[in-house]
Amino acid sequence: MTDQHRPRNPVEQYPAPDREKQPELEYPGLTSDMVSAPDHGEQTYRGSGRLEGRRALITGADSGIGRAVAIAFAREGADVVLSYLGSEEDDARETVRWVEEAGRRAVAVPGDIRSEEHCRHLIDTAVRELGGLDILVNNAAYQMVQMNGIADITTEQFDRVLKTNLYALFWLCKFAIEVMEPGSTIINTSSIQGTSPSPELLDYATTKAGIVDFTKGLASDVAKRGIRVNAVAPGPIWTPLIPATMPREKFESFGDDVPLGRPGQPAELAPAYVFLASQESSYITGEVIAVTGGKPFS
């Protein structure tokens, strides 16, 4: 049986998605509208109890990387609070189904993390519904490609990107630390854009670079409390966000420029989050794991 442990040729592990037939989507995009559905590990991720009894909050948990992490966490034994936008309800319900099929509890909480009050509500919900919070995954992000670079980035867009990608992360970390016990972990999602910025994603890349520094600084700040803080930096990953935020001329070649020659799948990110959430990474904090298909993160 194929699972995440079986050795395979990484170049051929996944066929390239059919990007030519993929229509552009309206933001934020739904998994059901993908011509080549992303693999979230539904049929392949095999758990081994590495997060047994842990309680997690994952933002952007409806689809893409967030769904893959939720499935992996549940199969490793964790209960999960799922944060997502209300417009992504259909995708979120599917994530809930997979978590519950793994025998774990899924608490779905729609809302906009650009609100400080909603971020507080998410942490309070985790404590109330799950009895505490051991793992926070800051995964939700907003991007919108502007082919003319800074000339087309409006103040409204810049504000939205920073509020979603940085302000929410700050609020959620601040509130989570108030309730976390020693041994808890925070995992932030950066990006290859954090060190290799594309001009058409200038605002998004700025936040992803900021997340790296925030992660390293916060890790030093809370180490004495026994809380670890790390980040994962994905490369080009095939999710609904891609055709929902990029023009066709960009996403038709999406992922072709990495050494492995293809975009990654959300299922290929999940093991990095599981590792950083588990006791196996007990002496790792303030670090970034790059999952980029071989593209240098430096």
**CB of 37 within 8 A of CB of 31?**
yes
Query: Was domain 55-291 assigned CATH 3.20.20.70?
Result: no
Say whether 204 is catalytic: yes
57: enclosing H helix or E strand: strand 55-59
CA 266 to chain centre: 9
* Catalytic residue of the set 14, 84, 142, 204: 204
pLDDT score at 2? 83
**CB of 203 within 8 A of CB of 182?**
no
Domain ranges, ordered by start, for the chain: 55-291
**CB of 166 within 8 A of CB of 214?**
yes
The residues of the chain scoring below 70 in pLDDT are 1
pLDDT score at 1? 56
Name the 3-class secondary structure at 216. helix
What angle, 0 to 180 degrees and rounded to 10, lies between the N-to-C axes of helices 155-162 and 202-222?
A: 30
CA 222 to chain centre: 22
- B/e letters for 265-294, b = 16+ CB within 10 Å, e = fewer, are bbbbbbbbbbbbbbeebeeebbebbbbbbe
CA angle 36, 192, 54 (to 5 degrees): 75
pLDDT score at 298? 81
